[in-house]
Structure 1
Amino acid sequence: MKRTLLQAVAIVWLMLLSVTVQAQGEAFAPVRNAIRSGSSKELAQRFGSTVELSFDGDKQSYSATQAEFVMKDFFGKNAPASFDFVHYGGSNEGTPYAVGKYVSKGGAYRMFVKMKSAQGNLVIDIIEFTKE
C-alpha cells in the first residue's frame, strides 16, 4: 500500500515538473526565435525598462533602447549560425531563467537569460554571453 502511494506521488510530481518546464520553455520561445534570427528588434520587444548585458564578464546595465543597439552590434559581429536553450530553471522566488548555446562563425558562447515579472508580464532582465 505504501509503495503504491509513493509511486503515485512520484508520478504526480514528475507530471507537475514537466508542465512547469514546458511553461518555462514557452515563455522563452519568442526570445529563442529572436536570437536564432539575430533580430535585436524582436529581442528588444521582450526587454524590461533596463537590461543587464554581459559579454565575457563585462557587465553593464542599459535602457531597453540602448540594449537593442548593443545587441544589434553583437549580432552584426557574431551572426547566429545556431542557437538553442539547453536548460530551463527558476529560482525559489519563481524567477525563470534559461541557459543556451549560441554558435556564430566567430565561435561558440554559453548564454544565460534571466527574466523577471514587470506589470504582469515576463521581461528580459539579464543576458550573459560567455565565450567557450
Structure 2
Amino acid sequence: MISLERLIDALASLLETRGYHITLSATDATALTPRRLLAPDCLLPVLVRMAEEIWKQRAGQISFGLAIEPDGQALCGQRLRAVHHAPLSLIVLCTDQTLQAVADPQGVVTVEGLERHAEALCGATASQPATV
C-alpha cells in the first residue's frame, strides 16, 4: 500500500515540474496550492481514478486497488482512503497522461475539463474499492 502523503508529494512535484496549473473553472482562476488540490478529499480521488482507467485501457482489467468512499464534505463527493496495488511511479505516469490530455497550451487544467475527460475516459465503469 502506498502512503497517501508520499503520493501527494509525488503528484505535487509532477504539477510543479511540468508546469500544470489547476483552476476550479475557466472563469475562476483562483490559485490553489498543489498540496490542497491533491488532498484526499479534493482532486486526488479523481486523478488517481482517471490514472487507473488509463492503465486499465493499456494493460487490461488491472485495478489499483483504490479505496474510495463517499464524502459529502469532499470537493467531488469522494475521499481517497488508500491505494493498495499500484506502484507510485505508475500512478504518476498515468496522471501525467491525464493532465496532458486536458491541459491547454499554457498548462492550465480546469476542473470542468477534468470532468469532461473523466466522462469520456471512464464512462459507466467504476473502480472496485478494496476493503480497508
Larger RCO, structures 1/2 (Cα 8 Å, 6+ apart): 2
Look at both structures and tell me which one has the larger radius of gyration over its CA atoms: 1
Indicate whether the TM-score tops 0.5.
no
Q: Could you say which structure has the higher helix fraction?
A: 2
Q: TM-score, normalised by structure 1?
A: 0.30
Q: Could you say which structure has the higher strand fraction?
A: 1
Q: TM-score, normalised by structure 2?
A: 0.30
